[in-house]
Structures are given as structure tokens and as C-alpha cells.
A and B are shown apart, each in its own frame.
Chain A
């Protein structure tokens, strides 16, 4: 049971790292271009960063929920949740790869 929450923590942490990179590029470009386009990308990455940071916080530090997720959530539910995190991670890897160019 404990393994699932660790995978969830790691994948959300990796998403946070990727999104910090994306936000860095897009906010920097927004500062330079001040365009609607770069603003949209910046807002998108910052909100998705907030989402993943919140997930990581819930799994790691939230007094009530971190305990609940670590001990009360059965494996099938965890597998479904992890599929969501891992798919998002893969999506972000590709987005970061093209954006870093």
C-alpha cells in the first residue's frame, strides 16, 4: 500500500519540476513580448503548477489526507489515480521538450 503514495509523490514532484521549467520560459517570454499568446501560456503553466503542487502537498503534508491516502485507499483506486498523474507527466515531458528549444 505504501508504494502507491510514494509513486504519486514522485510523479507529482516531477510534474512540478517540469512546470517550473515551462513557467520559467513562458513568463520570461511574456515579460519580453507582452503578448496575449505568451500570457495564455504563462497562466496555463502557473495554474497547472499550482494543481501539482497542491497534489504533492496533499500526499505529503496534509495532516488528514496524507494519512488517509497512505493507509485507507485501496490499490485499484490508487492505480487509477496514478494513471492520471503519469499521463500528465508524459504530456509535460513532450511539451517541455519542444518548448526548451
Chain B
């Protein structure tokens, strides 16, 4: 796993590839309310496996993390995403 820091990574994961816009949308949704993949899929009307795939990519790039609670595991924004929130928001705003 290559470590990339700063906003270059953000831009690449969220806008450099085909699924980027969808990943940005997922990030925006999780910023509003942490959820499990099932809920996300239902709320956004996206295929469950698609949601899982994009969440895996976001986890791999340390933009979201899982949090285990009473209702199974929920996905939440990572500390890094929180720290760079201004930048993330700028990217997200362009897709919503």
C-alpha cells in the first residue's frame, strides 16, 4: 500500500477515476450521517455490492473507517478526512 498524503490523493480517489463521483457522493452522505452499507445502498438506490466496493476503496485510502457498534459496523469519516474537511467539501460540492 503506497502512502500518499495531501490533496493529490483526495483528488485522485474522488475525481481521477470512473467511480470517483460516486465515491464523493458516498463521502458526502457519511458526513451527514454514518451508516452501514445496507442503509447507504437503500438511501442512495445503488446496488449493495457497488456500495461495498466504493467503501473498500475509501477505506484503503484511509478516507473512511469502520466503527463497530450495537447495530453492526457503520462507516464513518476518518480523522484524516475530518482534518482536510475543507478540501473534501470543495471536491464534494462539485458532484452534488
Contact = CB atoms under 8 A, between A and B. Distances in A.
Interface in B18-70: 18-21, 57
Interface residues on A, range: 10 to 19
B18 A32 contact: no
Contacts of B21: 29, 32-33
Interface residues on B, range: 10 to 19
A35 interface: yes
Contact of A33 (B8, B15, B18, B19): B15
A100 B16 contact: no
Contacts of B15: 29, 32-33, 35, 37-38
Interface of A: 25-26, 29, 32-35, 37-38, 41, 98-101
Interface of B: 8, 11-12, 15-21, 57, 91, 94-95
